[in-house]
């Protein structure tokens, strides 16, 4: 197994063959924490793609044909046998509609994850951390609860 310097990579593939160039690669999503994270994303992505191809009353065979014609597949690059493969679960996906949670690949997308530094925000104008701000806010709340201004 090989891993990209920025973490594991999931390759999104166009099933219709309508993408530009000789390959069917739509995009590569980088930055997964570990192989389990990449596998979970790929699985949810394909699950969502199949659901987007499902129409009410369609037979399993029709859903599968629609996915092969219009859907997108996902694979974990260089994961070998440890990488998730749509072929192992395709029949189950087609025969059982997914729950919203099973198809929520956006929650697993590393491009949407926020680092601790981004959450903390920029330093104060005096260069202090937010810990000092939290102590100040707690004191203000305490004083107001006691009727002090």
Q: What local confidence, expressed as pLDDT, does residue 25 receive?
A: 80
Give the pLDDT confidence of 108-136 residue by residue, as tens digits.
999 887 656 655 667 667 666 555 555 55
Helix axes 35-53, 60-70, angle to 10 degrees: 110
Whole-number Å distance between alpha carbons of 35 and 42:
10
Question: Is residue 52 a contact partner of residue 27, using CB atoms and an 8 Å limit?
Answer: no
Per-residue model confidence (pLDDT) at position 47: 97
Find the DSSP H helices in 1-129: 35-53, 60-70, 90-95, 116-120
For 73-92, the pLDDT digits (tens) are 999 999 999 999 999 999 99
Question: Helix or strand or coil: residue 35?
Answer: helix
Distance CA 49, CA 74 (A): 10
Q: What is the pLDDT of residue 14?
A: 92
- pLDDT surpassing 90 at residue 72: yes
Mean pLDDT of 93-98: 96
Structure pTM?
0.71
Contact partners, residue 122, CB within 8 Å, separation at least 6: none
């Amino acid at each position: 197994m090989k891993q990209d310097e920025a973490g594991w990579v999931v390759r999104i593939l166009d099933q219709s063959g309508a993408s530009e160039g000789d390959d069917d690669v739509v995009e590569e999503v980088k930055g997964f924490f570990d192989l389990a994270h990449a596998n979970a994303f790929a699985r949810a992505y394909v699950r969502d793609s199949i659901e987007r191809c499902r129409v009410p009353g369609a037979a399993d065979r029709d859903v599968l044909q629609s996915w092969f014609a219009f859907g997108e597949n996902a694979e974990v690059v260089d994961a070998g046998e440890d990488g998730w493969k749509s072929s192992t679960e395709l029949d189950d996906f087609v025969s059982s509609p997914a729950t919203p949670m099973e198809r929520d690949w956006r929650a697993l997308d590393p491009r949407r994850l926020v680092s601790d530094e981004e959450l903390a925000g920029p330093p104060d104008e005096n260069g202090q951390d937010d810990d000092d701000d939290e102590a100040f806010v707690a004191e203000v709340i305490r004083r107001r609860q006691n009727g002090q201004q």
